[in-house]
Structure 1
Amino acid sequence: MDHRKPFSLVRIGDGENICLAQNSVWPIRDVLKEPWTIKANHGERGVHLPNIRLRNELVQGIRNANVVGILLLNDTRIQAPKRLKRILTNKIFTHFNLSPRFTCDACINRYIPKYKAFWDVLKNRRVLLISQHANEMKRVLVNKYSLNVTGTILFSDYRQTNRVLKEVEMLKNKFDIVLISAGVNAVILAPKIALRTGKVALDFGQGHKNFMKSRTV
């Protein structure tokens, strides 16, 4: 942020893997059998499958991101079958020839809210929030952490992507960093926002749940 350069972080978990597997490493019929997909198609994940355009945008998001979070090979933190985690990520990355220059733990969003250093970085920065919980997040960040939240954008579904990107561009002179809690869609939004605005965009996932209850160290 000090150098005013674009930066984006995205994270790949089981949901992203399932969306990326469509007609690549899995046939659509197998994707549609997954419990995650069934929930998604009942409106619980912000996407509906099959959606090959979504898959392709996720691939592009991974290519454009500065840092890509991936799960540990022996991950036990994500409540999903092992076959849907790092094993599937590796197959997908091989299929699409994805080789991120920088990677980190996909669960980084669970840890960083617990550290005072993270909040110190955000102090004196203008923060934009994108989430279906954006207004609730703002109240906590302002009242508990004294952050300068200059904007909130509600987002709950992939079909809102273009509208949200337009809103972000209109606000590009009013924020330094955007925290995105939008499920799978954050992998699409974060790199596009960073490239279009020159700002920092983080796929924050369910990190908002952690900072609403966390104790910093």
Structure 2
Amino acid sequence: MAYQDYCFEHSLLDNQKVIRIIDQAIEKKVGFSLARFGIGEITYLSWPANPLLLEQFKRYASYAGVTSSPEIIKNELVTALRTVDMAGLITPQRLDFWAKTTRLVLEQMAFLPSNICCAWIMHDLVNEGKLWRWLNKKKVFLVGRRSHEAYSIFKKQGVHVTGFIQLNHFDEIDIVHDYVLKDSKWEIVLISAGIPATILAPRIAKSSGRVAIDFGHALDLIIDGKSFDHSMLVKKWNDQDSLSKENEI
């Protein structure tokens, strides 16, 4: 296949179609996963061919849950991309450079996901005011660093939240996976945990036979609203991380 054959945007499913597919999976009680391959994921999937991207991503790495070697992270992401039911990819309309880099990654892998949507689908649902109507009457489990903060908001919006758990680092993926599977009540798990979320979503869907969504910064948008500031969240996390490491010395 030539480079132009990996222009995935021609196969992009619109948001409404994706939501219908997710709802059908819940109705039929079959496993389904949606994982987002954003800037962090594409950075690691580009390694070692493009080491500069990894260098530029360093300040975001801890916040994005990266606590392992680039080789391990890349291998896990390759597995996630090959096994996920729906891949959220960066579109040229949003970030042209990263869309081109995504095409290069797919070409190097000689692989094109069978189902593709925009990486910001969940963000769009929040911004368009459609999220709560969609989650109405669904049983939801929340995973991520800010899941406890989000719990009360989801409850106030009438969403049935069966449980929540934090996920901060790559090393916690297996623990969180097993914890989530102990809850038999949820129908859909929303995971906001950086790169670990991308890796975990297809795993949970396969193990549970239910729906797992890499929810991303959509959770931050719900909590912070118009005050959402990604750079500030990264700085706050890095400051806390540095202080924690100093106290360990």
TM range (shorter): 0.7 to 0.9
Aligned CA distance change for structure 1 residues 49 and 192 (closer, same or farther; 3 Å): closer
1:170 equivalenced with 2:212 (yes/no): no
- In the other structure, the counterpart of 2:140 is 127
- Describe the SS at the equivalent of 1:46: coil
In the alignment, is residue 146 of structure 1 matched against residue 171 of structure 2?
A: no
| Distance (Å, rounded) in 1 between the aligned partners of 2:209 and 2:149 | 26
Q: Which residue of 1 aligns with 2:36?
A: 11
- Aligned residue number for residue 219 of structure 2: 208
Aligned partners of 2:63 and 2:194 also within 8 Å: no
Residue aligning to 1:79: none
Task: State the Cα deviation string for residues 30-83 of structure 1 (Å, max 9, x = none).
Answer: 34421x22431xx3221046421211111111111111111122425xxxxx54
Deviation at 1:118, TM superposition (A): 3.6
Supply the AA of the counterpart residue of 2:103.
N
* Conserved? CA contact 1:37–1:49, under 8 Å: no
Percent of matched pairs sharing the same residue:
28
CA distance 1:95–1:129, shift in 2 (3 Å): same
User: Root-mean-square deviation (CA), in Å?
Assistant: 1.8
Among 47, 53, 57, which residue is 1:22 paired with? 47
2:66 match? 47
Q: Distance in 1 between matches of 2:58 and 2:106?
A: 20
Secondary structure of the structure 1 residue equivalent to 2:191: strand
Paired positions, count: 200
Cross-structure match for 2:120: 107
CA contact (8 A) 1:7 1:194 kept: yes
Deviation at 1:170, TM superposition (A): 1.4
> What is the TM-score with the length of structure 2 in the denominator?
0.75
Q: What stretches of structure 2 of length at least 5 have no aligned partner?
A: 1-25, 227-249
**Residue in 2 aligned with 1:57?**
76
- State the secondary structure of the residue aligned to 1:100: coil
Code of the residue aligned with 1:56 in structure 2: it is N
Give, in angstroms, the shift of residue 122 of structure 1: 1.8
**Structure with greater proportional helix content:** 2
Aligned to 1:33: 55
Listed as ranges, the gaps of 5+ residues in structure 1 are: 77-81
Larger Rg: 2
